[in-house]
Structure formats: C-alpha cells, structure tokens
Amino acid sequence: MSIPRAYSVKAYAATSAKSPLAATTIGRREPTERDVKIDILYCGVCHSDLHFARNEWGFTQYPAVPGHEIVGRVTAIGSGVKKFKVGDLVGVGCLVDSCGTCPDCRAGLEQFCPEMVMTYGSADKHLGGGTLGGYAQGIVVTEEFVLRIPANLNAAAAAPLLCAGITTYSPLRHWKVGPGQKVGIVGLGGLGHMGLKFAHAFGAHVVLFTTSPGKAADAKRLGADEVVVSKDAAQMAAQAGSFDFILNTVAAAIDLNVYINLLKHDGNLVQVGAPSEPFAVAGFPLIMRRRSFSGSLIGGLPETQEMLDFCGAHAITSDVEMIRMDQINEAYERMLKSDVKYRFVIDMASLK
Ligand code: NAP
Ligand code: ZN
C-alpha cells in the first residue's frame, strides 16, 4: 500500500474527555483525483462538538478535532474534479464520504449509508486514525461531499446551515410542515433558531417552547407566532392536544411525555436533540391518539444543497456570535448554560 502524501495545518483538539481544547498541528491528505482542498474561513460550533469532545456518546478517539459547519475557499482541486474550481466559496457539513452504491446513497440519503464517514469521529480511510473536523485551517474533501454556498449569503452566517440548518430543514420537509399546521420547536439554541426560521418560512403557525423567558422577544423576531415557557404548567396545559408536529432540539434528556400530550391525534414528535441518556416514553398517550414519536439525522447531500439554495432564495442565515479559536472552551461553557445567541461561529483567521 502506498503511503498517502500529507501536509500540516494548525487546528484545535481535545486530548481527553476532561481536557480543554488546545492548539495543535494535524495532517491532511494532499488532494487525490476527486478531492477539493479548502482553506477554512469559518466553522460553526454545534452542541454535537461538545458531546463529542467530552466523549458523551462513548466513541470519541483522541486527539479529537470537532467542527462540522465549515465554510471556506477552494485553494486546489484534483485532476478529476468537475463541480468546483479554485476560488469557489464552499461548505462541508457532517459527512465527508459514503459508499456511493447502497440503496440509501443512491437515494441521496448518504446519512443512512452503513459506511458513511462523518467529518469527525469516523475512521479516516486515507491517513488512518480518526477523521478530524473543521476547527482547523484547512480540510480536503471528495467533491461529492462539498456544497455550493449561494453568493448572496454572508459566509460566516451561512456556516451553521451545514448542520443546524439541514437538521431542522430535513424533518420539516420530510413531514411536509406547511400552512394550516401548528408546529412546535422545543429549545432556542443553534438548531431551534433555525427551526423557527424554516417553519415560519414554510407557512406554519409556529410556537417556541423555551426554558429561558428572556428569549421570548428574539423568538418572535426569528419566526415564532407564540412563545411558551415550558417550566410554566399553566402555559403548557393551555396548549394540550393542539399540535400537528413538534421538533425537539434540546441537548438534554427532558420529559418527552409532556410534549406528546400537546399533539393532536396523528401528531408527531420528532427528536433531533442527541443526549446520551435514554428517554422514558409512556405508551398510552401515543396509543390513545395514534400519535408518533420519530427521529431525524441531518440530511443527505442533495437535500443539503436544496436547503442552501432555499436559504439563498429567501435570504435565510443563522444569527451568529463570532468568536476567536482560543475562545472555544468558554463558548462550550456558555452553551451548557443555554447562553448562545444563537450560534457561535469561529473566525478561523484567529488560528493563523
Ligand atoms: P444548543 O445551541 O446548546 O441549544 C440547545 C437548547 O436547548 C438550549 O439553548 C436551550 O434552549 C435548550 N435546553 C438546554 N438544556 C435544556 C434542559 N436541560 N431542559 C430544557 N431545555 C434545555 O444545542 P444545538 O447545537 O442546537 O444542538 C441540540 C442537540 O441536537 C444536541 O444534542 C446535538 O448533539 C443535537 N444534534 C442532532 C443532530 C441530528 O442530526 N439529529 C444534528 C445536530 C445536532 P432554551 O434556552 O430555549 O430552553
Ligand atoms: Zn452539528
């Protein structure tokens, strides 16, 4: 086997579940025939990055470099690349490869491919070890997993679309959320604020459930028609049995039964928040109204491009707070306190 050629980039990595992220140097492969070499400009900070860096899902290999909301500039392409040229503004989300031949890949649902390669935390077929994410100066990705960023969007504010955007767009589209429906979004963080924007853009009546009463005015500005403080039992009781669809974005194992009771008959509670702890779901509230409890994982490559193009057409981006790379540990602590408005984005120029 030939040894792949590699070059070095600066990055930020965790070396154990308990250690803060710190500066390091990592290897990236030199572009092969179908590869796109990207100079990373911005990377969004997803709560999944924190789950992964701290090994909350139990599969983290160290060193761990998180980051899967990547926007950057193409600096080189392999000889066989057709979709991109040097200078293009591009994005990379949660996936960097898949088998390309299974039924899911053929259907454009690469997120369900048994051999899908995540941007961080999967086996790296090229260099060995684990794949390393976007908290870095650069990345090399096969062209099928590189996305076009619409020219009218602010590049930094577009970065969170690559995960928070597609993770909320995909279930709202799959379950055909639209006019005449009452839709709940649980949690106003990175995913939740994109959920509000999309559900509003799709024409639904949108209700935000939050534990933070101070976020109510922002929620209305972001697309909510109503705001319910989920800790207030009377406000929750007033919503009983009235929802067609509820999307739960919370990163902790909250009581789902209270939300299932807010669904109409045939209503659906969709889980996208990914705490490691299991949920206790009572059977009777599902049975008695033919309600569903479902899950959803990011979205495939065609749908991610569709989402980006929809955002371009409707001027939708994320509301971001820019940080330097060396502020990442502080950003994680603020994320744990639900103190994010509404997505941190790292300015990668701060890593130079
Ligand atoms: P985030 O920015 O930290 O937002 C989560 C929000 O949930 C918080 O802002 C807070 O909103 C609410 N919240 C937090 N703790 C809570 C608690 N104990 N009880 C009730 N509400 C609480 O996180 P994110 O980046 O949006 O990610 C959310 C989750 O989605 C994470 O678990 C992440 O791993 C997962 N995720 C899943 C996918 C997928 O494909 N399924 C993709 C990306 C991320 P309020 O202040 O409004 O209550
Ligand atoms: Zn994410």
235 Cβ partners below 8 Å, 6+ apart? 228, 229
pLDDT of 144: 98
Instruction: Phi first, then psi: give them for residue 157, nearest 5 degrees.
Output: -75, -15
Q: Is 188 close to ligand 1, i.e. is its CB under 6 Å away?
A: yes
- Cβ(170)–Cβ(296) under 8 Å? yes
| Residues contacting residue 3 through CB under 8 Å, at least 6 positions apart | none
Helices (H) and strands (E) in the chain, counts: 11, 17
* Residue at 63: amino acid letter: P
User: Is the CB–ligand 1 distance for residue 170 below 6 Å?
Assistant: no
Residue 207 phi, psi dihedral angles, 5° rounding: -120, 125
CA of 71 to the centre of ligand 2 (A): 14
Which of 313, 68, 309 shows the shortest CA–CA distance to 167?
Answer: 68
DSSP class of 261: T
How many Å from the N-terminal Cα to the C-terminal Cα in the chain?
Answer: 34
State how far the alpha carbon of 234 is from the alpha carbons of 34, 84, 315, 341, in Å: 57, 54, 37, 27
Ligand 1 centre from 80 Cα, in Å?
A: 40
DSSP state of 181: -
The pLDDT assigned to 96 comes to 98
The whole-model pTM stands at 0.98
Q: Which residues, listed in sequence order, are joined to residue 182 by a DSSP beta bridge?
A: 205
Three-state secondary structure call for residue 214: helix
What token pair was written down for 91? 């994005």
For the chain, the 3-state helix, strand and coil shares in percent, each to the nearest 5, are 30, 30, 45
Strand locations in 30-137 (E):
35-44, 70-77, 89-92, 95-97, 117-118
Mutate to test the pocket of ligand 1, among 120, 161, 191, 227 (most ligand atoms within 8 A of CB): 191
Closest approach atom of ligand 1 to CA 336: 3
List C-alpha distances in Å: 334 to 3, 49, 65, 192, 329.
42, 14, 19, 16, 9
228 lines ligand 1 (CB under 6 A): no
- From the CA of 195, the nearest ligand is 1
Per-residue pLDDT of the chain (352 residues; tens, 9 = 90+): 466 789 999 999 999 999 999 999 999 999 999 999 999 999 999 999 999 999 999 999 999 999 999 999 999 999 999 999 999 999 999 999 999 999 999 999 999 999 999 999 999 999 999 999 999 999 999 999 999 999 999 999 999 999 999 999 999 999 999 999 999 999 999 999 999 999 999 999 999 999 999 999 999 999 999 999 999 999 999 999 999 999 999 999 999 999 999 999 999 999 999 999 999 999 999 999 999 999 999 999 999 999 999 999 999 999 999 999 999 999 999 999 999 999 999 999 999 8
Torsion-angle region of 156 (φ positive above 0: left; ψ -120 to 50: alpha; else: beta): alpha
Q: Which two tokens stand for residue 281?
A: 């779901």
> Which one of 45, 161, 232, 250 would you pick to mutate in the ligand 1 pocket, going by the greatest count of ligand atoms within 8 A of its CB?
250
The answer for residues whose C-beta is within 8 angstroms of residue 323's C-beta and 6 or more apart is 45, 331, 344, 345, 346, 347
| Contact criterion met (CB below 8 Å) for 182 and 226 | no
Separation of alpha carbons 15 and 167, rounded Å: 28
